[in-house]
Amino acid sequence: MIAKVITDISLDKEFDYLVPPELADSLRPGSAVTVPFGKSRRTGYILSLVEKSSYSPDKLKALTGIAADRPAIPENLIRLGRWIADYYCASQEHSIRTLLPAAIRTGRVKEKKCRFYSIADRETAEKYIIANAKVTRLAKRVELLQMLLRKGESRKGDLATETGFSMAAFDALCKAGLISVREEAVTPEFDSGIETLPDSPLPPSPDQQKALDQITEMLSGRSTSHVQLLYGTTNSGKTEVYLQAISKVLSMGKAAIVLVPEISLTPQTVRRFRARFGTKLSVLHSRLSDRERFDEWNKINSGKVQIAIGARSALFAPFKNLGLIVVDEEHDSSYKQSESPRYHARDVAVVRGKLENACVILGSATPSAESLYNAKEGKFMLCRMAVQVDNKPAPLIRIVDRRLDPPPEPGVSNLLSPILIHAVEERLERAEQCILFLNRRGYARSLCCPQCGYEARCPECSVNYNYTYSRSREILSCHLCGGVVPAPHSCPECGFQDIRYSGSGTEKLESCARGIFPGARIGRMDSDMMRSAEDYEVVLDKFRRGKLDILVGTQMIAKGLHFPGVTLVGVVNADLGLSMPDFRAQERTFQMLTQVAGRAGRGEKRGEVIFQTMRDSEVLRFAAELDFDGFSKFDLEFREMLNYPPYTRLIAIFFKGEKESEVASYAAGFAEKLEAYRHENLRITPPAPAPVEKIRNQFRYLMTVRGTGLKKIREAIRILALHHLPPSGISVAVDVDAQSLM
């Protein structure tokens, strides 16, 4: 028998090894093995077992053995990993690596084991006690044997607490064969610190019942598709549908995965699911320590839990009998990974569901164009939930044109319009809560000198004004490359003292709010403030308990959060995302505005939303009317006319290097090799400088391939990118189904 093994060397290549007869019955695809590799020994994973190799047997080496310190990868995940490698033009090593947390894959975290002690032979122990009952120097040994006879198998720590005996007593009794020792792996319970009270399923509304009926049909195998697009307006009760669907799956003896796009949503989601399912769930996200991640993964792998909740990587939870995958806020761009393999968790969830005969629910109030198109084409089942829970009215949404505002007083910030200020003051008087949303962090977006015209720019990146000023830390930071420099107190060029910071971020918005509403309790949530999972929960818990009046934040407060006390949402610079040079800019802006508007009026009082803008926009008007159907028709007509997804597939290929001429030359040669695959339904855009032309002193060129029937050219791109090494200093990144062309 031949084992095809992948190692940790990124060659995108399987290696053939002979399977020793004594290991043949112990191995399967996904098994971790040790193999000879050149003059060294490496750990790898078996991708498949075959009868023959293209190499002669005398040239093949044998497997060294099973890697006892590495768990096997479930065979179903191995199949998924191979699909990811092929479809997303990634190396097999990168794809298999994605399936396992680093703490599991590297073996640097070891399994905790606990020793259990018991009487080896009861009759012998009783004779020993009788013979030595009055021997003073053996009193502790006798007491220890008596306790074990009374308590049965126990851990050393439990026994030591009651008797205070020494290790010498233990060792002597073990050596004499009176006590036997057993080791067992222990998976500690992960304490999220989230307190919950048990709850029960709620009677479903007609819309919820319709969704559940469809899911039951999928679970029974009677439907034409294994995917449901649950298109439900904000506060329509999608989470209750998820909960009841999971209950159904658990009753069938199967497991479920729940994906959320942001770590900020994880604590609230965990609270809802713990209230319903208790300790049957595991939490997986990027903020866990290696030890926590190791323990949670092993709880899933050993079958101790049946539900996994988390962000993108939770999709690879090693369940062996998966019944359901829920992708909440399926439209969210954070489901797309930015490093190789550049997979989209929503699409991989659909594939994993198909491979494992599991159902998939894609939930959103603003479905992605791709998912809506698939539903209209009959690939997904569509269920619409148009009514809010308890028939609550939709929030009242107003657009405030800032161009009509009166001129601001000298020295007074005009970040908030008089209309929005008045609306916030009304809520504060009524002890209601407000959210102020600005999808840009920091205090200011640029630094300039009005005297000499100096502008502070990151020297390693190409975007103008890309330094962000943080007043609390007195630094300038580049959000593209991560560069940080001290903020100057005078112009570095001419020494002028009155340098100016322009543009606004959440730090400035918080500062302005504190000045305008001096008695208000204000909190802020953005990536500058939220450094750990605990930071998210502390701020959200304060807001939930009414200890904050105003919450200022970026997109992390726009999605999925349920705060009944919020009656007003103010969106500062609602048109901010429309200026991005990307065909998805309209869709993202509409989705963001609809999501953040959905945070208002989730309690008994009707909510109000104010969009502040400096431009006329059809997108804002559709969002103000909560008219997703109108916006979708408007946006899809634009995309169909320009031949963009979802009507075509899109592959973006980025080339980067320190010397622009070399990058341009290599990109042109790469594109020329693809010309042989051109056909009438395929459009290849020649390489050109990317919209963000330089990051970290690396010049970036972009070419795109879009159309239908991309399989052959995708395979060619994969071979060119992975098996034809570019010149030194140049790298190639392939992004299949790219979400951004920046």
- The CA dihedral of 640, 590, 332, 702, to the nearest 10 degrees, is 50
pLDDT of residue 256: 97
| Per-residue pLDDT reduced to its tens digit, 346-358 | 999 999 999 999 9
The whole-number average pLDDT for the span 521-548 is 84
pLDDT band at 720 (very low <50, low <70, confident <90, very high): very high
Report the distance separating Cα 536 and Cα 273, nearest Å: 18
* Residue 662 neighbours by CB under 8 Å, 6+ apart: 727, 729, 730
pLDDT given at position 524: 92
pLDDT of amino acid 596: 92
- Predicted pLDDT at 462: 79
DSSP string, 398-423: EEEEGGGSPPPPTT---SS-HHHHHH
User: Is 149 buried (19+), middle (13-18) or exposed (0-12) by CB count in 10 A?
Assistant: middle
pLDDT digits (tens, 9 = 90+) for 427-453: 999 999 999 999 988 888 888 888 888
pLDDT at 266 over 70: no
Mean pLDDT, rounded, for 89-95: 93
Indicate the DSSP class of residue 25. Answer: G
What pLDDT score was predicted for residue 396?
94
* pLDDT at residue 532, as a whole number: 66
pLDDT at 224: 87
Mean pLDDT, residues 559-581: 87
3-state secondary structure of 326: strand
In this predicted structure, the answer to whether residue 194 has a pLDDT above a threshold of 70 is no
The pLDDT of residue 265 is 63
pLDDT at 422 over 70: yes
Range of weakest confidence among 149-163, 198-212, 251-265, 710-724? 149-163
Answer yes or no: is pLDDT of 163 > 60. Answer: no
Report the alpha-carbon distance of residue 297 to residue 326 in Å, rounded: 19
Rounded distance, CA 626 to CA 630, Å?
A: 9
pLDDT at 118: 84
Residue 465 has pLDDT above 60, yes or no: no
* Contact by Cβ (8 Å): 469, 533: no
CA–CA distances in Å: residue 192 to residues 220, 269, 430, 597: 35, 12, 34, 29
**Backbone dihedral angles phi then psi of residue 381, each to the nearest 5 degrees:** -80, 140
Which of 149-158, 315-324, 714-723 has the weakest average pLDDT? 149-158
pLDDT confidence band for 246 (50 / 70 / 90): very high
User: What's residue 109's pLDDT?
Assistant: 76
pLDDT at 196: 58
The predicted pLDDT at position 160 comes to 62
* E runs forming strands in 223-376: 227-232, 255-259, 281-284, 307-310, 322-328, 359-364
Predicted pLDDT of residue 264: 62
pLDDT band at 581; cut points 50, 70, 90? confident
At a CB cut-off of 8 Å and minimum separation 6, what does 240 contact?
Answer: 201, 202, 204, 208
- Mean pLDDT over 390-402 rounds to 88
**C-beta separation of 228 from 359 below 8 A:** yes
Question: Does residue 394 contact residue 388 with C-beta atoms inside 8 Å?
Answer: yes
At 187 the pLDDT is 58
Q: Given this model, what pLDDT does residue 370 score?
A: 96
Distance separating alpha carbons of residues 283 and 322, to the nearest angstrom: 16
Identify the pLDDT of residue 375. Answer: 95
Kindly state the average pLDDT of the residues 620-642: 93
CA–centroid distance for 434 within its chain: 27
Whether the pLDDT of residue 511 is over 80: the answer is yes
Mean pLDDT of the 684-696 span: 93
Residues 35 and 61 sit within 8 Å (Cβ to Cβ): yes
Domains of the chain: 2-100 (3.40.1440.60), 113-185 (no CATH), 206-391 (3.40.50.300), 396-443+504-631 (3.40.50.300), 649-736 (3.30.70.600)
Q: Is the pLDDT of residue 119 over 80?
A: yes
Q: Could you tell me the pLDDT band of residue 177, with boundaries at 50, 70 and 90?
A: confident
Averaged pLDDT for residues 234-257: 93
- 637-671 pLDDT per residue, tens: 999 998 999 999 999 999 999 999 999 999 999 99
Spatial neighbors of 167 by CB under 8 A, at least 6 apart, are: none
Q: What is residue 539's predicted lDDT score, i.e. its pLDDT? A: 87
| pLDDT level of residue 560 (50, 70, 90 thresholds) | low
Hey, which of 1-5, 141-145, 437-441, 670-674 has the most confident mean pLDDT? 670-674
pLDDT the model gives residue 159: 66
Q: What's the mean per-residue pLDDT of the chain?
A: 88
Higher pLDDT, 582 or 512: 512
In contact, 699 and 660? CB cutoff 8 Å: yes
> C-alpha dihedral over 39, 45, 50, 53, to 10 degrees?
-30
> What is the rounded average pLDDT of the residues 665-678?
96
Structure tokens at 563: 């705060």
Percent of the chain past pLDDT 90, that is, above it, reads 52
Write down the pLDDT at residue 175.
84
Question: Model confidence at 241, in pLDDT bands (50, 70, 90)?
Answer: very high
